[in-house]
Structure 1
């Protein structure tokens, strides 16, 4: 985490692995274009959790990129977001799943631009950690209503992250 000159905690954590992550992702052929298979993966995650939005996110140094995206019918499908928006950067740096049943209950997260700009109220995300130990990105679901994700939600998001990493490793090994 970083601090501003007067000692307040900044909202978005510093990502020391960003450059190395981009190199690794490019080597895997990921993070530069939408992937239909990852869109299907996000759709399955949204369906299973009942969340209106689901993403497979591969951030770089400047922004977040949703290589897999599911949105409700009629909603926009913007694939890029500023790095300081949302909660995935926290998951990436923490390297741990994050459950925010109501983001407004947490001062650190309630001030995020997504709350005001998009009405996001709840978040559930897990890191995608590869066999080298690098956090490549995240899988997440969000809702505009508070959600009681509970232990079942946490187990689901972690399971989906592990499944996706198995697919990525299979792709890397030439098995898929």
Structure 2
């Protein structure tokens, strides 16, 4: 398993998360609707709005998962925030970074992951809007476009 690196702008990213007051905050119906929407549109059992802090990823909104957070060291989202593009893992069992990850070898048995970074106007990726499936799957350019557009709506909700 490959642990995610920290972004170059990690101090600014953490400061922005703290200033927005998103971590450990109450559920927000408008965000829950967006999470439910992407779960439905993409027919996945799990969809999350995940915020990545110093040591963990915390779920601001979730569909299909009971956990409220996981360690950053085993998170897929920790990898997804390292670049601006939607991060896709078609089959985690065949990906060297994830094949022995405890989230792959045990519950929730992740096979497919797609995460759109939630990028603040200052350039900090605060977390992701992500999709998880227990079956490998493909994700085409149209899928990426839709997920990116909904992720942009999530970040707009964070900042307004």
TM-score (norm 1): 0.81
SS at match of 1:31: coil
| Larger RCO of the pair (alpha carbons < 8 Å, separation 6+) | 2
Selected match of 1:22 from 14, 21, 25: 14
For residues 54-86 of structure 1, give each alpha carbon's deviation from its aligned partner in whole angstroms, at most 9, with x where no partner exists.
000111111110011111xxxx52111011223
Residue 20 of structure 2 corresponds to residue 31 of structure 1: no
Deviation at 1:161, TM superposition (A): 1.1
For residues 62-121 of structure 1, give each alpha carbon's deviation from its aligned partner in whole angstroms, at most 9, with x where no partner exists.
1110011111xxxx5211101122311011123321111211222122222211112111
- Larger of the two Rg values belongs to structure: 1
Residue 2 of structure 2 corresponds to residue 11 of structure 1: yes
Residue 107 of structure 2 corresponds to residue 84 of structure 1: no
CA contact (8 A) 1:19 1:61 kept: no
CA contact (8 A) 1:35 1:67 kept: yes
Residue 140 of structure 2 corresponds to residue 150 of structure 1: yes
- Aligned alpha-carbon RMSD (Å): 1.7
Gaps of 5+ in 1: 1-9, 172-176
Gaps of 5+ in 2: none
Instruction: Determine the structure 1 residue equivalent to 2:55.
Output: 62
Alignment of 1:60-139 (within 5 A): 60-71=53-64, 76-118=65-107, 119-139=109-129
TM-score (norm 2): 0.88
CA contact (8 A) 1:115 1:121 kept: yes
